[in-house]
Amino acid sequence: MLNTLSIPSDGPAAPLLIVHGLYGSGRNWGVIGKRLSDRGPVAAVDLRNHGDSFWSDSHSYEDMADDLAKVIEAHDAPMDVVGHSMGGKAAMTLAITRPDLVHRLIVADIAPVTYTHSQLQFIEAMRAVDLTRIEKRSDASAQLAAHVEDPTLQAFFTQSLDLRNKRWKLNLDTLAAQMENVLGFPDLSDTFEAPTLFLSGGQSDYVTPDHRPKIRELFPKARFVKIPNAGHWLHAEKPREFEASVRAFLDQAQ
**C-alpha closest to that of 191 among 87, 79, 69, 102:** 102
User: How buried is residue 183: exposed, middle or buried, by Cβ count under 10 Å (0-12/13-18/19+)?
Assistant: middle
Q: What is the CATH number of the domain that holds 192?
A: 3.40.50.1820
| Domain-located, residue 180 | no
Evaluate the omega torsion of the peptide bond into residue 78 and state whether it is cis, within 30 degrees of 0.
yes
Q: Is the pLDDT of residue 254 over 70?
A: no
Please spell the DSSP secondary structure of 66-114, one letter per residue: HHHHHHHHHSSSSEEEEEETHHHHHHHHHHHH-GGGEEEEEEES--SS-
Mean pLDDT of the chain: 95
> What is the pTM for the complete model shown?
0.95
User: Which is the catalytic residue, given 25, 37, 85, 141?
Assistant: 85
User: Which is the catalytic residue, given 38, 57, 100, 173?
Assistant: 173
> What does the alpha-carbon distance between residue 113 and residue 100 come to, in Å, rounded to a whole number?
23
Sign of the dihedral defined by the CA atoms of residues 88, 89, 95, 98, in that order: negative
| Domain-located, residue 64 | yes
85 catalytic residue (yes or no): yes
173 catalytic residue (yes or no): yes
Residues 6+ apart with CB under 8 A from 187: none
Q: Do both 149 and 33 map to the same domain?
A: no
pLDDT at position 117 is 87
**Please, are residues 128 and 143 in contact by the beta-carbon 8 Å criterion?**
yes
User: Which is the catalytic residue, given 50, 232, 235, 245?
Assistant: 232
84 catalytic residue (yes or no): no
pLDDT at position 253 is 62
pLDDT digits (tens, 9 = 90+) for 113-166: 999 988 999 999 999 999 999 999 999 999 999 999 988 889 999 999 999 999
Q: Do both 248 and 198 map to the same domain?
A: yes
Q: Do both 195 and 76 map to the same domain?
A: yes
Can you count the helices (H) and strands (E) in the chain?
Answer: 11, 9
Q: Do both 66 and 153 map to the same domain?
A: no
Return the ∠ at Cα 88 (arms to 199 and 16), rounded to 5°. 80
Q: Do both 148 and 51 map to the same domain?
A: no
* Greatest CA separation for the chain: 52
Q: Do both 106 and 128 map to the same domain?
A: no
| Domain-located, residue 109 | yes
